[in-house]
Structure 1
Amino acid sequence: MINTRLSVAIHILSLVATEPHLSSDRIASSVTTNPVVIRRISGELRRAGLLASRAGVPGFTLTKSPEEITLLDIYKAVNLEKDLFAIHDKPNPNCQIGREIQHTLDLTFDSVRQAMENELNSKTLRDVLQQLQQNIRNR
């Protein structure tokens, strides 16, 4: 199931793109979460090759330019659950619908997942940053 991990990861990368070397505490204050959550998600972004950190230097830096980082890259970095949609367990095999529902929904959900991934792949961190700047100017 999709949770807030993707939006938090995009938030982290947006902050780092605009102000490298922010501490986990500063990022956490912007996200309004615990710094431990920021460190955990930042670790996943590091393992995916999107963020870098150095001993003795606070905070993080991007490893690629914002136009090279797709939202799909970010999604894959923080998506620990492989199934976008969960299907309930053990429907009744003696029921016609129960017997076929999982297979039927698998096909539908796979196409929805693919459409979502295609859309995420068409958007970059730079697109997000540009929209953020436009929103800031319009306020």
Structure 2
Amino acid sequence: MAVSSRSAVAIHALTMLARWNDRSLTSAEIADSLASNPVLVRRILGSLRNAGLVWSTEGRGGGWSLARTPREITLHDAYAAVEEGRILSRHAHPPSDACEVGRNISAVLEVEFRDAERAMEERLGRTTIADLLRRMLAIEHELASANR
């Protein structure tokens, strides 16, 4: 598969920004939550900014904030902002025309892969950052209740 971890990082960052929507977060704060490097986080946030999902302010008290409400940002929005190319890899080199499988497999796989990619895009398009935040907070509440 061609999907990288950029989508997970982007969704994590968007969910953090939604959680603390009353203030801007720095890339270092987001990187701490990810146990990652702020430079990587800034690259991802830059892609999210280019897609109109976040905005930033510089200087003292600056940081990153959501450009839209959490219910207006889907997981597909985040995915599309940071991933390039197709989800499922195709043949790196054309198969052999001398073989009946080689001659025909690309056309057959293209239909299957395209349908699978559309299904994934549709599924990600149904879930918003607000949905994830709500589920995450419910889990956190359950954990807190269990520890009392």
State the TM-score, normalizing by the size of structure 2: 0.89
Is 1:7 the equivalent of 2:8? Answer: yes
Deviations 1:37-88 (A, max 9, x none): 10000000000000000122421010111001111111111112x2111122
Give the share of equivalent positions with the same residue, in percent.
38
The code of the aligned residue for 2:62 comes to: P
> What is the alpha-carbon distance in structure 1 between the residues aligned to residue 55 and residue 131 of structure 2?
21
Aligned residue for 2:3, secondary structure, equals coil
- Structure 1 residue runs of 4 or more that deviate by more than 4 Å after TM superposition: none
Counterpart for residue 24 of structure 2: 21
Q: 1:36 aligns with which of 32, 39, 42?
A: 39
Unaligned segments of structure 1, at least 5 residues: none
> What is the alpha-carbon distance in structure 2 between the residues aligned to residue 95 and residue 36 of structure 1?
48
Provide the alpha-carbon RMSD of the alignment: 1.1
Aligned residue for 1:84, secondary structure, equals coil
Q: Write out aligned runs for 1:1-139 (5 A).
A: 1-19=2-20, 20-56=23-59, 57-80=61-84, 82-88=85-91, 89-139=93-143
State the TM-score, normalizing by the size of structure 1: 0.94
Bigger CA radius of gyration: 2
Unaligned segments of structure 2, at least 5 residues: 144-148
Aligned residue for 1:138, secondary structure, equals helix
* Aligned residues between the structures: 138
> What is the alpha-carbon distance in structure 1 between the residues aligned to residue 30 and residue 43 of structure 2?
12
